[in-house]
Amino acid sequence: MTVKVKLGDNNYGKADVRLFKVFRDRPQHDIKDVQVRVAVTGDFEAAHSVGDNTGLVATDTMRNLVYALARDGLTGSIEAFGQHLAAELMARGPRVTGARVTLTEHTWARLMSGGQPHDHSFVRQMPKHTATVERTAGDTQVESGIDDLYLLKTTNSGWAGFHRDEFTTLPETHDRILATVVSARWTYRTPDCDHDDVWQRAYTALLDVFPDHYSPSMQHTLYRLGEAVLDRCPEMERVHFSFPNRHHILYPLERYGMTNPGTIFHADAEPYGVIEGWVERA
Amino acid sequence: MTVKVKLGDNNYGKADVRLFKVFRDRPQHDIKDVQVRVAVTGDFEAAHSVGDNTGLVATDTMRNLVYALARDGLTGSIEAFGQHLAAELMARGPRVTGARVTLTEHTWARLMSGGQPHDHSFVRQMPKHTATVERTAGDTQVESGIDDLYLLKTTNSGWAGFHRDEFTTLPETHDRILATVVSARWTYRTPDCDHDDVWQRAYTALLDVFPDHYSPSMQHTLYRLGEAVLDRCPEMERVHFSFPNRHHILYPLERYGMTNPGTIFHADAEPYGVIEGWVERA
Amino acid sequence: MTVKVKLGDNNYGKADVRLFKVFRDRPQHDIKDVQVRVAVTGDFEAAHSVGDNTGLVATDTMRNLVYALARDGLTGSIEAFGQHLAAELMARGPRVTGARVTLTEHTWARLMSGGQPHDHSFVRQMPKHTATVERTAGDTQVESGIDDLYLLKTTNSGWAGFHRDEFTTLPETHDRILATVVSARWTYRTPDCDHDDVWQRAYTALLDVFPDHYSPSMQHTLYRLGEAVLDRCPEMERVHFSFPNRHHILYPLERYGMTNPGTIFHADAEPYGVIEGWVERA
Amino acid sequence: MTVKVKLGDNNYGKADVRLFKVFRDRPQHDIKDVQVRVAVTGDFEAAHSVGDNTGLVATDTMRNLVYALARDGLTGSIEAFGQHLAAELMARGPRVTGARVTLTEHTWARLMSGGQPHDHSFVRQMPKHTATVERTAGDTQVESGIDDLYLLKTTNSGWAGFHRDEFTTLPETHDRILATVVSARWTYRTPDCDHDDVWQRAYTALLDVFPDHYSPSMQHTLYRLGEAVLDRCPEMERVHFSFPNRHHILYPLERYGMTNPGTIFHADAEPYGVIEGWVERA
């Protein structure tokens, strides 16, 4: 082989680590159900180019670390645990210079029993709480997010006034169904905050604002949701949304001699629109 | 070719029909979000053996039928709509003698706004409502069910006293995590009942009984859940559960000089146990 | 609770057991990559009704059994191993009276190296080999199958002469794309046969016959495929196919002043037709 | 609301556009089966902040464009079509200033018939061909890739000499199974090349080099694969791999009095290692 090559940006780690913690030191058990992915960066040149593993931390060790640190280090939010875990990953072996931790928390609600919250039984809830921690020698970045939040409104949404050219066949509408699955993430200007409390306020803001306005576009709703979230969460720096636009298409019942006054729809699986953007403090 | 063959049992239809209906004839919109599968049986021998399609209903027509019938025929439960749809499928062409309709309803909760239920905005909920209708010339069978209901308890569950042989390495336990995803379905002894009300009572029974007892096995919990559901739903004939046993395995922290008093678990993705059974009226 | 209940049909076992075997006792390594599901039936009444686990085999033991038996018992086809495994499951504890083993084999091709088959490197192939063994005291039933075989032809397929009524909008066609994902399974009239050889002949028959005729319907192609498979595999008793009809819809380019002579299609994800049926010896 | 906000980076488009093209202008039909995602960037501030859609291209129009342009513009590689599509997206309306096109091509092999390649029948193959085109006013970037290529070797792989600390329990090994699913992508230094030919050479290089060496780590194999790909494809600038390390764990059969000399493994689904990196020309 005559080609001369070198190693570029690289990282390695462990994905789909399924961590589950029970807090038994209280009258009612609490739980944390978290899917974790960890990765490190550093001086891994020799391992790649000549197969010398000296100083390399094994991904199996990283996995062990997730469980071991969770014992005493996972006490509150996944954001706090992620920072702790990233710091410990940085200390694994002589070669690591950066760490990234990605966490997805499944949310569970406590079951009720005889009108009272049950002390050890839970039912899974829909939205997920996500977080990412990026750490290098001099810096730590924390992002949090919400995933799998399905929202839908049957009216008070439209799409009109847009550009038309020879490939435009979509009619304008001032009354359509708007349906999406919220995927949100945000950065912080106040790193040392109560991340779970921020998450709860952001979640509530989404539920409050989604229905409260006429939506001329998914883009405008994105902006209003971002504005509301930043308003209620002064700890946030900026927020990003990725919105699939799950199209609900009026089914052409007139072919069978029927009217269809906004009643019967085909909920199209694909293709779907995607609207993405950051809303930032001005 | 010297082999002599004939057609055996067969059916055809349309899957993944995504029907969405908005009820606008009331102060607050209601919605139905249903994934439908339809299939017919009948005298389809000529189509198979000699390619003669005479009298065959197209699956595209079946799809149209789902949407068209939903306009006036989907007014309450998916069970009632499924029966209506099955009857209409039976009337398609001269060859159909049986129909099967499978329905999966996504459940949505109404959003709140200013302390009041909002009139057109919704958020998706976790468990699904399923139904199957089987219809032949002389008979209609209706089944209903619940899918994707994740339940978990952190204690008050064990697995002991079981058979041990040379391949048994699992220790007995009187304190483990019990986690499952309920998949339930039931038949009726009172076909003309309020299916949505039965579903709601069955769902509530599961949430009430799952936490209320020491579970010596998933099998016993299955039995108790079946008993409770049949007790609260006199309309039901019998109920079937399929329970994945989502194992939560204590992580061996002693390797790092730590104790692990029922705190840190690996939530294993696979393999998983599966416990299935019918509970019937005695 | 006043309701009286009893246990109906039931079974339990282990799913998603991921077994991988390397055969090192030969110049070139062979491999078996199999996903296994096992379940037992029997007298499990006491476990369900009163929580008495006496005599119950743990699903963890079943899992151990899969790996342990594979050591010496998995030497050829998954059908042979499935029968061996089912027999051993029947011997677990005093309560088991029936066993079902479901196997999905991932197929791998040997890599080439310098024009020669490599002795220990493999690349995954598309279709899967499936098998199910059902065993009771007096009887063993074996089924085999093929999964995830995507076939497509761009012409020589149509759909015409079918029933039309007020809900029929589909035009007749004598030239369409036919695309499906074959899911086949068959029973044997010669249980003691070379199952891998039968599988290979069935697979080849599908590839040979799918292109060789004008297809007036998926139903007729199903019949011809069944005929060919039974002709080439005298060991088979009957064969079942489940064919999704993956619709390719001509995109309406005339809206932009373009013709579309069978060129540009939308490959629709859903809904899709499903055609299912058995072909049997006459 | 007192918060002041502004729009940050944003884009919108259409995902999961399923394009299928048949080339009938030759004795043997050819096909292209491509999943397309398109997105545009530009001056979309008014749409977000005040709901003014003037000049906005609808995602429905983008979808139409994919199909319409494919009629005459998709003649060879998806990379060439992606560039054409990106250029046309830039011309949609007054506001677009950038476009991104992501393409995933399903590969199909021609069926044989009587020893000859059949002229219109195909069977789906495993690896996918991916491509991304990013275009702004002054610049176009093209990336290509390979997805879903499962490779496995049963020996000639190890993992030893790595860092050990209190959380390291993994023993060293000089003989293990190495299994991965290749996800590769590369940039070009010769944009006007035969992209399909490069893809084929890259694919062949992976199949040739994966088995040809002792692998002391996934990292080293990554490096060697990158070196080979760059050697055989002078058109490439650099190549990135993402390798899940699909662990195959020796099953502890000694618990049943059996030896396990590298024979029986549990193919673990999760967690899995991930090794990622760029290999670049030196």
Cross-chain residue pair C154–D31, CB shorter than 8 Å = yes
Omega before A271 cis (within 30°)?
A: yes
Which uninterrupted H or E stretch holds C232? helix C218-232
Output the six-digit token pair for B79.
């069970």
Q: Give the whole-angstrom CA distance, residue A4 versus residue A14.
A: 30
Query: Phi-psi category of B231—alpha, beta or left, where left has phi over 0 and alpha has psi -120 to 50?
Result: alpha
* Cα dihedral D151, D152, D155, D160 sign: positive
Q: What is the pLDDT of residue A95?
A: 97
Number of B/C CB contacts below 8 angstroms equals: 274
Q: What is the pLDDT of residue D11?
A: 98
Mean pLDDT of chain A: 96
| Phi, psi angles (nearest 5°) of residue D85 | -65, -40
Task: Indicate which residue of A21, A59, A61, A187 is catalytic.
Answer: A59
Contact B161/B172 with Cβ under 8 angstroms?
Answer: yes
In the 8-state DSSP scheme, what is residue C253?
A: G
How far is the alpha carbon of D227 from chain A, nearest alpha carbon, in Å? 6
Name the residue facing C71 among D23, D207, D263 (closest C-beta): D263
Name the residue facing D211 among C121, C256, C269 (closest C-beta): C121
Q: How many C-beta atoms lie closer than 10 Å to residue C182's C-beta?
A: 23
> Is residue D269 scored above 90 in pLDDT?
no
Rounded to a whole number, what is the distance in angstroms from the first to the last CA of chain D? 55
In the 8-state DSSP scheme, what is residue D119?
A: E
Contact A162/D58 with Cβ under 8 angstroms?
Answer: yes
How far is the alpha carbon of D50 from chain B, nearest alpha carbon, in Å? 22
Name the residue facing D68 among C18, C253, C268 (closest C-beta): C253
Q: What is the pLDDT of residue C1?
A: 76
Q: State percent of chain C over pLDDT 90.
A: 95
Alpha helices in chain B (DSSP H): 45-50, 59-73, 78-90, 195-209, 218-232
Q: What is the pLDDT of residue B191?
A: 84
> Is residue C141 scored above 90 in pLDDT?
yes
Output the six-digit token pair for B205.
């029974």
In the 8-state DSSP scheme, what is residue A91?
A: T
Q: What is the pLDDT of residue C270?
A: 81
| Binding-site residue ranges of C for O2 | 245
Q: Give the whole-angstrom CA distance, residue A231 versus residue D32.
A: 49
Cross-chain residue pair D65–A270, CB shorter than 8 Å = no
Omega before D261 cis (within 30°)?
A: no
Mutation choice for D interface testing from C105, C106, C206, C264 by most D CBs within 10 A: C264
> Is residue D86 scored above 90 in pLDDT?
yes
Q: What is the pLDDT of residue C222?
A: 98
Cross-chain residue pair C220–B51, CB shorter than 8 Å = yes
Cross-chain residue pair C5–B245, CB shorter than 8 Å = no
Residue entry with tokens 């902006």: A223
Q: What is the pLDDT of residue A269?
A: 82
Task: Indicate which residue of A14, A129, A195, A240 is catalytic.
Answer: A14
What is C56-108 written as a DSSP string? Answer: PBPHHHHHHHHHHHHHHH-SS-HHHHHHHHHHHHHTSTTTEEEEEEEEEEEEE
Neighbours of chain C (3+ CB pairs under 8 A): A, B, D
Beta strand segments in chain B, E: 5-23, 30-42, 96-113, 116-136, 139-153, 178-188, 236-245, 248-250, 264-267, 272-281
pLDDT tens digit sequence for C70-83: 999 999 999 999 99
Q: What is the pLDDT of residue B8?
A: 98
Query: B22-28 long-range CB contacts below 8 Å, 24 or more apart?
Result: B22/A154, B22/A155, B22/A177, B22/A262, B22/A263, B22/A265, B23/A263, B24/A154, B24/A155, B24/A261, B24/A262, B24/A263, B27/B119, B28/B110, B28/B117, B28/B119, B28/B120
Contact D60/A159 with Cβ under 8 angstroms?
Answer: no
| Binding-site residue ranges of D for urate | 59-60, 176, 219, 245
Q: Is residue D88 helix, strand or coil?
A: helix
Q: Among A264-273, B256-265, D81-90, where is mean pLDDT lowest?
A: A264-273
Q: State percent of chain A over pLDDT 90.
A: 95
With CA atoms as reference, the chain B residue closest to D169 would be: B255
Q: Give the whole-angstrom CA distance, residue B268 versus residue B255.
A: 20
Output the six-digit token pair for C166.
């007020």
What is D143-208 written as a DSSP string? Answer: EEEEEEEEEEESSSB-B-S----TT--PPPBSS--EEEEEEEEEEESSSSS-HHHHHHHHHHHHHH
State mean pLDDT over A68-76. 97
Q: What is the pLDDT of residue C193?
A: 97
Output the six-digit token pair for D110.
């021609």
Mean pLDDT of chain D: 96
pLDDT tens digit sequence for D186-218: 999 988 999 999 999 999 999 999 999 999 999
Q: Give the whole-angstrom CA distance, residue C102 versus residue C145.
A: 11
Cross-chain residue pair C64–B167, CB shorter than 8 Å = yes
Q: Quick one: CA torsion of C51, C52, C54, C56, rounded to 10 degrees? A: -20
Residue entry with tokens 């501030």: D45
Q: Quick one: CA torsion of A208, A213, A219, A224, rounded to 10 degrees? A: -50
> Is residue D74 scored above 80 in pLDDT?
yes
Q: Give the whole-angstrom CA distance, residue B129 versus residue B146.
A: 5
Q: What is the pLDDT of residue D226?
A: 98
Cross-chain residue pair B18–A269, CB shorter than 8 Å = yes
Q: Quickly state the pLDDT bin for A229 (edges 50, 70, 90).
A: very high
Q: What is the pLDDT of residue A212?
A: 95
pLDDT tens digit sequence for D221-243: 999 999 999 999 999 999 999 99
pLDDT tens digit sequence for C21-62: 999 999 999 999 999 999 999 999 999 999 999 999 999 999
Active site residue A59: yes
Cα B234-B239-B243 angle, rounded to 5 deg: 140
Contacts of A115 (CB under 8 A, 6+ apart): none
Counting Cβ atoms within 10 Å, is residue C147 exposed (0-12), middle (13-18) or buried (19+)? middle
Q: Quickly state the pLDDT bin for D114 (edges 50, 70, 90).
A: confident
With CA atoms as reference, the chain D residue closest to C35 would be: D267
| Binding-site residue ranges of A for 5-hydroxyisourate | 60, 176, 219, 245
Output the six-digit token pair for D153.
């070797």
Q: Provide the residue count of chain A.
A: 282
With CA atoms as reference, the chain D residue closest to B165 would be: D256
> Is residue A191 scored above 90 in pLDDT?
no
pLDDT tens digit sequence for B170-229: 999 999 999 999 999 999 998 899 999 999 999 999 999 999 999 999 999 999 999 999
With CA atoms as reference, the chain B residue closest to C68 would be: B167
pLDDT in tens, chain B (282 residues): 789 999 999 999 999 999 999 999 999 999 999 999 999 999 999 999 999 999 999 999 999 999 999 999 999 999 999 999 999 999 998 999 999 999 999 999 999 988 999 999 999 999 999 999 999 988 999 999 999 999 999 999 999 999 999 999 999 999 999 999 999 999 999 889 999 999 999 999 999 999 999 999 999 999 999 999 999 999 999 999 999 999 999 999 999 999 999 999 999 988 899 999 999 999
Q: Give the whole-angstrom CA distance, residue D137 versus residue B86.
A: 57
Q: What is the pLDDT of residue A114?
A: 86
Output the six-digit token pair for D173.
């090994």
Residues linked to residue A32 through DSSP beta bridges, in sequence order: A21
Q: Helices A78-90 and A59-73: crossing angle, nearest 10°?
A: 130
Active site residue A247: yes
Q: Quick one: CA torsion of B92, B94, B95, B96, rounded to 10 degrees? A: 30
Q: What is the pLDDT of residue A140?
A: 96
Mind listing the domains of chain C with CATH numbers? Answer: 12-137 (3.10.270.10), 149-280 (3.10.270.10)
Q: Quickly state the pLDDT bin for D17 (edges 50, 70, 90).
A: very high
Residue entry with tokens 């195909």: D122
Query: Phi-psi category of C262—alpha, beta or left, where left has phi over 0 and alpha has psi -120 to 50?
Result: left
